[in-house]
Amino acid sequence: MASPPESSIDGAERPLSKLLSRVDLDGHNLPPSPAPSSPSVGRRRYALATELVYTETKDQYGASSIPIYQSATFKQTSSAGGQEYDYTRSGNPTRTHLERHLAKIMNANRCLAVGSGMGALDVITRILRPGDEVVTGDDLYGGTNRLLAYLANNQGVVVRHVDTTVVERVREAVTPKTAMVLLETPTNPLIKIVDIPSIARAAHEANPSALVVVDNTMLSPMLCNPLDLGADIVYESGTKYLSGHHDIMAGVIGMNDSALADKMYFTINATGCGLSPNDSFLLLRGVKTLAIRMEKQQANAQRIAEFLENHGFKVRYPGLKSHPQYDLHWTMARGAGAVLSFETGDVGLSERIVEAARLWGISVSFGCVNSLISMPCRMSHASIDAKTRAERQMPEDIIRLCVGIEDVEDLIDDLSRALVQAGAVTLTLDGFHANQEQQEATTA
């Protein structure tokens, strides 16, 4: 597993009682559900891997898997309405069950599930007003960058991109008009680490009303709980690790402040972006296998990162001691995740490697059971224009690997063949080594 020896995937070194300290275990702050998944008051709290699987249902027939309430409307018993549910845009028992389960896992008082990760960020950023300022990173997922650019160009929101790996840069950028500090860690695709606790402290000191929002897609609640690190809101794309099979789009938002949660819920009901009953069911099913998938994915990712580094490539992965922010990452996270990137020194060479891979699917996204290979500047981050990419020092040749649960020897074998076929390595008596250009990229 990609972790320092003393770390543990199930968070054993951090008692779950601490992780769950702010969770509303009896569900008073949560919307009602006929099939609550919150644990009973006073019951023993288990390790995170167990809590992921454990749900409590009060289904009338004892269904052990939450039913899909595939219904747009719910009959009322009187003309005054007033039943727990009336219309699925406003609330649905399957979605509520999922949200309660996720709140427990995310160590949040309240979780809301919507139709995609970008949908989650849209709901969050709807609290911004013209003139509000957002301080954010200079290495962000392309879609996040695009939504922020839209808000800047059309809604009068001022967006400041700074190097969020330097706490001081964020502190300098926060003003009385800063409504939001938006962070990603590790960043996608440069795998830079951002110090959530220090930034949250600095941002709140500089402007107590600024909300610190963290995109936790790259780690998932299995490996990191940003709300415990000082964030006000955490969100992530449920399309990735949470669901794990690339068969749904989803987004989740977690927070502890109930007034803030009510504002988010208002937007979800008003705009109709709540997660559908069927996708809520699939996301809940995916969450149950998160621990076992993540454990295997990051063990594979560690092996592959070491394989590439040992063969002379410049690799970015927080499980490698050579990562410049290795220590910082492990103060915040319980694992390194399963996304890594490496450089070849030449765009054409990178294209040949990607196209020579067979087992690694050429695809955007990550967190899925099968392994993917991509060129972010052409694919996931193509919506960031070439000039901005250059200003932000995104290497055009960078290859991103999103590691799945396959047999790791098969993955290394396929990657080795792709590297040889593309002409990226020189064969030696004892194996192969990255060519001269990559060695220069490594030392640059």
Ligand X SMILES: Cc1ncc(COP(=O)(O)O)c(C=O)c1O
Provide the binding-site residues for ligand X, judged by CB under 6 A: 116-118, 141, 143-144, 184, 188, 215, 217-218, 237, 239, 249, 251
| CB of 270 closer than 8 Å to CB of 381 | no
Instruction: Give the max Cα distance, the chain.
Output: 83
> Shortest Cβ distance from residue 399 to ligand LKTG3HHF (Å)?
13
Neighbours of 135 (CB within 10 A): 29
| CB of 360 closer than 8 Å to CB of 373 | yes
d(CA 255, CA 264): 10
141 part of the interface to ligand LKTG3HHF, by CB under 6 A = yes
User: Where does 218-289 have alpha helices with state H?
Assistant: 220-223, 258-271, 277-288
Distance set, CA 188 to CA 62, 116, 340, 398, 433 (Å)? 43, 17, 9, 12, 27
Closest CA to 335 of 221, 253, 234: 221
Count how many residues are written for the chain. Answer: 444
149 part of the interface to ligand LKTG3HHF, by CB under 6 A = no
Distance set, CA 70 to CA 95, 113, 208, 239, 250 (Å)? 11, 16, 43, 21, 17
Token duo for residue 51: 């809590």
Nearer to ligand LKTG3HHF, 85 or 366 (CB): 366
370 part of the interface to ligand LKTG3HHF, by CB under 6 A = no
Which one of ligand LKTG3HHF, ligand X, none is in contact with 295 (Cβ closer than 5 to 8 A by kind)? none
Nearer to ligand LKTG3HHF, 244 or 277 (CB): 244
Which one of ligand LKTG3HHF, ligand X, none is in contact with 383 (Cβ closer than 5 to 8 A by kind)? ligand LKTG3HHF
Among 302, 380, 435, 438, binds ligand LKTG3HHF (CB under 6 A): 380
Nearer to ligand LKTG3HHF, 120 or 203 (CB): 120
143 part of the interface to ligand LKTG3HHF, by CB under 6 A = yes
> Shortest Cβ distance from residue 360 to ligand X (Å)?
18
Residues with catalytic annotation? 89, 141, 215, 240
Which one of ligand X, ligand LKTG3HHF, none is in contact with 249 (Cβ closer than 5 to 8 A by kind)? ligand X
Token duo for residue 148: 């922020």
Residues lying near ligand LKTG3HHF in the complex (CB under 6 A): 141, 143, 188, 364-366, 380, 383
